Amino acid sequence: MCLAAAAHIVERDRFADLGITDPRLASLVAESWRRRAELPSLYGRFDLRYDGTGPAKMLEYNADTPTSLVEAASPQWFWMEERFPGADQWNSLHERLVEAWKRQAALLPPGPVHFVHSESDELGEDLMTVAYLRETAEQAGLDTEALSVERIGFDKLSGRFVDERLRFIRSCFKLYPWEWLTTDRFGPYVLDTLDNGGGTGTTCWIEPAWKMLLSNKALLTILWELYPGHPNLLAAHLDGPRELAANGGYVAKPLLGREGAGVTLHEAGAPPAVRDEACCYQELAPLPDFDGNRVVLGAWVVEDEAAGLGIRESAGPVTDEYARFLPHVIL
């Protein structure tokens, strides 16, 4: 359904709903979508609300820079083997990531794959996630290099991005959102050199630009338009809370945000409030509470298939960067 929504955005030119108002950027994202079979794309994470009694509800989908991958992959598997030998776990993440790199190696330009994160990551989560994904690529036989995004250079003579040793960056896995990549100081160079398949451009970014269609909260409203009343979706609007203010309450989410930043909850009956910034107004579905722990399920996708489960719990109603990871078993 998310892929159908992405196709709808491109076909109906709904980029403005996502806050993509630069015609050139919109054109490049559309081209990336149309050429997606030629571009490497690795993974994503659905965040789901589920209490064991009814259908799971999709809270959002992070298809560009999802984290909590490290904990969901090998560590919780090793925990299970030590604590619950003979049990099972919904978890094939590591094997699927390695196989995905092997299958997609032919789509990568010659040379090492650079793995980059931002030095502004104070918790170290981005660094660990990138280091882990780099390990899966190396296990798949790829040549890799580590680099921070702040240390990427641009050689104006050749018109190419370079690393600290002045080698061309032909392919780059980034844990750095596309909305930052295209709007920071080097944003114009990113657009000028974007390898979108078809032999154009000089730098292939992973995840590809079309993932901007899926990691934007406006996706939730497009889904509700296309599949109104679907049991796995929550009602969502862009222009305000509408009926949600009176019927159960709503959550206001910035279109672009990570780790719960800027999310506000509004109970039923509270005066409807339309935020100044562009937001998605989604039906309120409080996370299930287990002894004061509010739980959200992270359902991982590698390439086109479900690949594992990572559970996070928090004391507050919004899952943020300080949420605890909870390993699981199937007995």
| 158 and 264 both lie in a single domain | no
Give me the amino acid identity at 233. Answer: L
For residues 152, 153, 155 and 156, what is the CA-based torsion angle, rounded to 10 degrees? 120
Residue 129 inside a domain? The answer is yes
| 84 and 149 both lie in a single domain | yes
Burial 274-306 (b: 16+ CB within 10 A, else e): eeeeebbbbbbbebbeeeebbbbbbbbbbbeee
Final residue of a domain: which of 213, 244, 269?
A: 213
Would you state the structure tokens that stand for residue 65, as one six-digit string?
Answer: 């820079």
Q: What average pLDDT score do residues 105-120 get? A: 95
| 243 and 176 both lie in a single domain | no
| 104 and 208 both lie in a single domain | yes
Q: List Cβ neighbours of 158 (8 Å cut-off, separation of 6 or more).
A: 168
Per residue in 214-236, pLDDT (tens digit) is 999 999 999 999 999 999 999 99
Tokens 């993509």 locate to: 20
| 167 and 257 both lie in a single domain | no
Residue 83 inside a domain? The answer is yes
Give me the amino acid identity at 92. Answer: S
| 182 and 52 both lie in a single domain | yes
* Cα separation, 173 vs 42, whole angstroms: 10
| 97 and 204 both lie in a single domain | yes
Confidence of residue 187 (pLDDT cuts 50, 70, 90): very high
pLDDT value at 199 more than 80: no
Distances (CA, A) of 302 to 29, 74, 243, 309: 21, 15, 36, 12
Query: What percentage of the chain reaches a pLDDT higher than 90?
Result: 87
Q: What average pLDDT score do residues 253-271 get? A: 85
Q: What average pLDDT score do residues 123-145 get? A: 95
Q: Which domain holds residue 269?
A: 235-283
Peptide bond preceding 135 in cis form (omega within 30 of 0): no
Residue 186 inside a domain? The answer is yes
Burial class (CB in 10 A: 0-12, 13-18, 19+), 138: middle
pTM of the predicted model over 0.75: yes
Residue 244 inside a domain? The answer is yes
* Cα separation, 234 vs 232, whole angstroms: 7
Residue 278 inside a domain? The answer is yes
Contact 33, 7 (CB under 8 A): yes
Residue 25 inside a domain? The answer is yes
Per residue in 41-76, pLDDT (tens digit) is 999 999 999 999 999 999 999 999 998 999 999 999
| 27 and 90 both lie in a single domain | yes
Would you state the structure tokens that stand for residue 235, as one six-digit string?
Answer: 């009602």
| 166 and 279 both lie in a single domain | no
* Cα separation, 272 vs 241, whole angstroms: 7
| 96 and 38 both lie in a single domain | yes
Q: How many domains does the chain fold into?
A: 2
| 142 and 273 both lie in a single domain | no
Q: What average pLDDT score do residues 288-292 get? A: 93
Contact 211, 36 (CB under 8 A): no
pLDDT value at 122 more than 90: no
Say what the pLDDT of residue 14 is: 97
Residue 200 inside a domain? The answer is yes
Residue 229 inside a domain? The answer is no
| 155 and 271 both lie in a single domain | no
pLDDT value at 197 more than 90: no
Per residue in 139-182, pLDDT (tens digit) is 999 999 999 999 999 999 999 999 999 999 999 999 999 999 99
